[in-house]
Amino acid sequence: MGRDLRAADLDLSEDLVNRIAGARSASVLTGAGVSAESGIPTFRGAGGIWEKYDFRKLATPQGFREDPQLVWEWYQLRQREMLKASPNPAHYVIADMERHYQEFSVLTQNIDGMHERAGSNNVVELHGSIWRLRCVRDGLVTQTDTPVEEIPPLCQCGSMLRPDVVWFGEPLSEDVVEAASRAAASSEVMFVVGTSAVVYPAAALPIITKNSGGLVIEVNAEPTDVTTYADASLMGFAGEILPALWKRMRRTESFMKEHPFIPNW
């Protein structure tokens, strides 16, 4: 990263920009590509975490039952790495979007809490959060903003705590999926950022927006399945493209306010 991408460099028609800027409701679906620009390794793909570590030992209910000490040592390390990282320009633009649209949701597959650190409030964490701990006995959830010290950590009831994340072989929370689906269905615009959108049910969210008559704007490093139906696909770093896109949209919004006779789509 580091290139100063100009708003005029984006391949978007003025009509599309007007519709994005004038929308009342929007959402952003984010994946590992956004956090990777903050130095947090992705899980899948070339160079991903699962190339180096056995997910069966570290990210499954069975692996936790067999060796909770090992699992928590790994998650403690991940917490420390994530705490050292900082939100990047894409995270901050997404947080600014929330102040622009009347209705706005961040639908993220990431567990690192970067969106909240950047200032986003309405965040639906599809795969949970590494900063929440859940009691294995009664399901009580505890929030933390620092890496765990005791391994394995214990609930006040004496039972073990586990990371409140979705492991392999576990379903996503029905309430979380329902909240994300509602947001997708009501979005006039969905930005799909840093995700290949191949893992369901997250992959269905932009399709829901599209089928509901909304726009789908993709920002990814390379073409994905979303590219085939997106209204616009912008290829490159999210930390470069989103600031340029947002700058262009805010200029359009300002112009529309100064010329109210122009329809606000």
Q: Which residues are catalytic?
A: 127
In three-state secondary structure terms, 215 is strand
Helices (H) and strands (E) in the chain, counts: 10, 9
Do 209 and 182 meet the contact criterion of CB atoms below 8 Å apart? no
Do 108 and 125 meet the contact criterion of CB atoms below 8 Å apart? yes
- HSE-CB at 63 with a 13 A cutoff on CA atoms is 19
DSSP string computed for 143-160: E-SS---SSS-B-TTSSB
Ramachandran sector of residue 172 (left: φ over 0; alpha: ψ -120 to 50; beta: rest): beta
In three-state secondary structure terms, 125 is strand
Q: Which residues contact 171 (CB under 8 A, 6 or more apart)?
A: none
Do 119 and 95 meet the contact criterion of CB atoms below 8 Å apart? yes
